[in-house]
Chains A and B, each alone.
Chain A
Amino acid sequence: MSVTTVRKPSLLWRLPILSHLRQSVGVQRGMLIAGILISGMFIVAAIFAPLIAPYGFAQSRDENGLFGKQMPPSPEHLWGTTVGGFDVLSRVIWGTQTALSVVIVAVVLSIFAGVALGLVSGYLGGWLDRVLVVIADAIYPFPTLLLAIVMSIVISGGRSSLWSGILSAAISITVVFIPQYFRVVRAEAVRLKAEAFVESARVVGSSTGRIMFTHVLRNSTRTLPLILTLNASEAILTLAGLGFLGFGIAPTSAAEWGYDLNRALSDTASGIWWTGVFPGAAIVLLVLGLTLVGESINDISDPKLRTRKRLRKAA
């Protein structure tokens, strides 16, 4: 029998997703790896879109003239062309960029706003806390999409260019997510407020701000990676929903999958499948990838749901 020493894993392996990967086994590990691979593929596609995409997202002609409308897949246009005469493959690849920018902006904004509000509300309490809780509770059960529609009317009047479009879609989604982060962080802050280490910090004379943002904040972000991945996938679906209703980003300023699906819907009656199937599949795959990551993190963090390593005979 060999003597094994318990080594503390290096910092890299203690980062959220990687630490989960280290703990996982079997099916759970497979799901996590699959999720990371799929999401990674989209991130690569988004970063290198200018290199990978054969044409621009609003390009309808090259040196040989117009692409033609609703052309079936061919060597020049691997996934065919849309009703507007754009290359489907290129629009799907450029759409990755739009989707991921919206997700990043939305998640970053809602984390900052939600966490700050939750922390202040939970730690300080009082009337501010009561008002915020009531507002968050009123928004929470309301259909995400409807709220996002209202927000996008407010922000852009429903029509927008690339950056204002990405921003307004992101902010629309943010408003929906803030109550979720708020609830989670607030609950943690309320719980931590009574802990001994917070009390001792107070006794030592730390300022309220310091206690909130160093002691309480650090300990209340446990569940954030999970909500983050789940919200990222929700953000993509909301963006696509807005685009489908014609409330997303204008087609000439960026490629957006939901809008393309809207235009593709009328193509189906004549049996044209390539305009809708590819952008739709892109949405499904990206959401699937992100959800697999989120779902595995959740299961692995929860000791009741985690599959445990079997003890090796040699050990």
Chain B
Amino acid sequence: MTLLQEAEAPIDPPARPPRSRGRKAGGGIGLGRYVLIRALLIVPTVFILVSLVFFLMRVVGDPISASVGDRLTAAQLAERLAAAGYDRPIIVQYFEYLGQIATGDFGRTLSDNRLISEVLLTYGGATLELVFYALIVAFAIGIPFGMLAAYYKDRAPDAVLRILAILSYATPVFFAGLLLKLTFSVWLGWLPLGGRASTRVQIALGRLDDPTGIYLIDAIRSGNSVILGDVLLHAIMPALALGLLTAGVFLRLVRTNVIQTLSNDYVDAARSRGVSEFRLVRYHAYKPALIPIVTVIGLQIALLLGGAVLTESTFEWRGLGFQLAQYLGARDFVAVQGIVALLAVIVAVTNFIVDVIAALIDPRVRY
């Protein structure tokens, strides 16, 4: 998926097949039925992605030869393969894998022999936290500036804002991260270089009874303002690096949508009654222009998850993405496959939730 295409998508309302199918099935179906059909569509989506990843990864061979193949003798390798079941026909392995996934078992990593689901539980919170911060940054920057750009359409502020939006999209998160680190940590010394918290704070947070792994929540629960400050200070640069990427998309989207809404008849009617241009943007065109944003947030989550892999590696933010990069480096392709499959489920479920929210806000979607 392309950032920019998502941004342009609302220009002609996307006929996303899940929805059009819902339409065909019932023509004027109720919300309940729409949600049900949409929920059932998660299954084929996940099934296709998981199968695709499985077969692609097996085209090259088995994961054991890939990671340690050159260090073992042929006999040792054959023994390890047999032990792990990789010597059986691929179709048998495939159905076994599908069965495991259906029961929520995503396998074990090769390099450190942990359950993939356990890896998710340990590191998922950190990624969730990062994506949450990034969304806040994206909303706080994208929406007001997008409205401003629409208000000044084709004049200097609009041109400047649009160039900035393109720049924010054109800058890879790791380069943005590098610049932020240079400026705020190395030269100014204001912010920590990386990590999610200082070592002492991490230890303190680990001592809490049943920590959530989401440092923001844990820090608030600890009731210690020093800990909370430390956690927030560490979050600033990663949140900015990842958030700016999406902020540019939101800005463009809000701008395009507000401009389109402003060309509607009811806006002309308001204008003819003497409503000021600013009021038109702020009150009349604002809400309708936000609906398409809800729709693209689903795709943005996918983008943010991809970006999180890079952001986490840049800032040593120990989340799922950081872990994925580690496993990639260790050539542990079982772990990579497991995490990718898991992310496929997460993306499919988020898209479902977003579609349901869109249907709740905008009745046109469900008919």
* Interface size, chain B (Cβ < 8 Å): 73
Interface-side segment among B78-86, B198-206, B255-263: B255-263
| A245-B15 in contact given A135-B48, A304-B260, A305-B259 (Cβ < 8 Å) | no
Roughly how many angstroms separate A109 CA and B310 CA in the complex, as a whole number? 26
Interface-side segment among A46-54, A80-88, A146-154, A198-206: A146-154
Roughly how many angstroms separate A271 CA and B189 CA in the complex, as a whole number? 11
In contact, B44 and A138 (Cβ under 8 angstroms): yes
In contact, A234 and B3 (Cβ under 8 angstroms): yes
| A233-B170 in contact given A180-B2, A276-B175 (Cβ < 8 Å) | yes
Is A298 an interface position by the 8 A CB rule? yes
In contact, A141 and B299 (Cβ under 8 angstroms): yes
Q: How far is the CB of B324 from chain A (nearest CB, A)?
A: 8
Is A300 an interface position by the 8 A CB rule? no
Question: 0/1 per residue, B202-225, Cβ < 8 Å to A?
Answer: 000000000000000000000000
Is A241 an interface position by the 8 A CB rule? yes
In contact, A258 and B172 (Cβ under 8 angstroms): yes
In contact, B187 and A271 (Cβ under 8 angstroms): yes
Q: Return the contact of B154 from the options A176, A291, A307 (Cβ within 8 A).
A: A307
Looking across the interface, which residue of chain A has its beta carbon closest to that of B314? Answer: A265
| A245-B313 in contact given A141-B347, A180-B2, A271-B187 (Cβ < 8 Å) | yes
In contact, A241 and B172 (Cβ under 8 angstroms): yes
Roughly how many angstroms separate A157 CA and B70 CA in the complex, as a whole number? 13
Chain B residues whose C-beta falls within 8 Å of the C-beta of A137 in the assembled complex? 16-18, 45
A residues 274-289 with Cβ under 8 Å of B?
276-277, 280, 283-285, 287-288
Chain B residues whose C-beta falls within 8 Å of the C-beta of A26 in the assembled complex? 154
In contact, B1 and A180 (Cβ under 8 angstroms): yes
Is B121 an interface position by the 8 A CB rule? no
Question: 0/1 per residue, B255-282, Cβ < 8 Å to A?
Answer: 0100110010000000000000000000
In contact, A141 and B328 (Cβ under 8 angstroms): no
Roughly how many angstroms separate A307 CA and B162 CA in the complex, as a whole number? 15
Is B174 an interface position by the 8 A CB rule? yes
Question: 0/1 per residue, A246-289, Cβ < 8 Å to B?
Answer: 11000000000010011011001111010011001001110110
Is B230 an interface position by the 8 A CB rule? no
Chain A residues whose C-beta falls within 8 Å of the C-beta of B187 in the assembled complex? 271
Question: 0/1 per residue, B1-45, Cβ < 8 Å to A?
Answer: 111110010010001111000000000000000000000000011
Chain B residues whose C-beta falls within 8 Å of the C-beta of A134 in the assembled complex? 17, 44, 48
Chain A residues whose C-beta falls within 8 Å of the C-beta of B163 in the assembled complex? 31
| A240-B302 in contact given A142-B49, A145-B309, A180-B2 (Cβ < 8 Å) | no
Roughly how many angstroms separate A28 CA and B158 CA in the complex, as a whole number? 11
| A143-B60 in contact given A246-B329, A288-B167, A304-B260 (Cβ < 8 Å) | no
Is B234 an interface position by the 8 A CB rule? no
Q: Return the contact of B4 from the options A143, A230, A246, A302 (Cβ within 8 A).
A: A230
Roughly how many angstroms separate A149 CA and B343 CA in the complex, as a whole number? 13
Interface-side segment among B51-59, B111-119, B358-366: B51-59
| A154-B59 in contact given A142-B302, A269-B186 (Cβ < 8 Å) | yes
Q: In the complex, given contacts A142-B302, A277-B179, what are 12 additional A-B residue pairs having Cβ atoms less than 8 angstroms apart?
A: A27-B158, A143-B303, A145-B306, A234-B3, A244-B313, A261-B174, A265-B177, A271-B186, A273-B182, A280-B178, A284-B170, A287-B170
Closest 6 CB pairs of A and B: A143-B306, A280-B175, A287-B170, A138-B48, A145-B306, A288-B170
Can you sample 15 A-B contacts with CB below 8 Å? A27-B154, A138-B49, A141-B1, A141-B298, A145-B306, A150-B57, A150-B336, A154-B59, A244-B172, A265-B314, A276-B178, A277-B179, A284-B167, A295-B4, A302-B11
Chain A interface residues (CB < 8 Å from chain B): 26-28, 30-31, 133-135, 137-146, 149-151, 153-154, 157-158, 176, 180, 187, 227, 230-231, 233-234, 237, 240-241, 244-247, 258, 261-262, 264-265, 268-271, 273, 276-277, 280, 283-285, 287-288, 291-292, 294-295, 298, 302, 304-305, 307
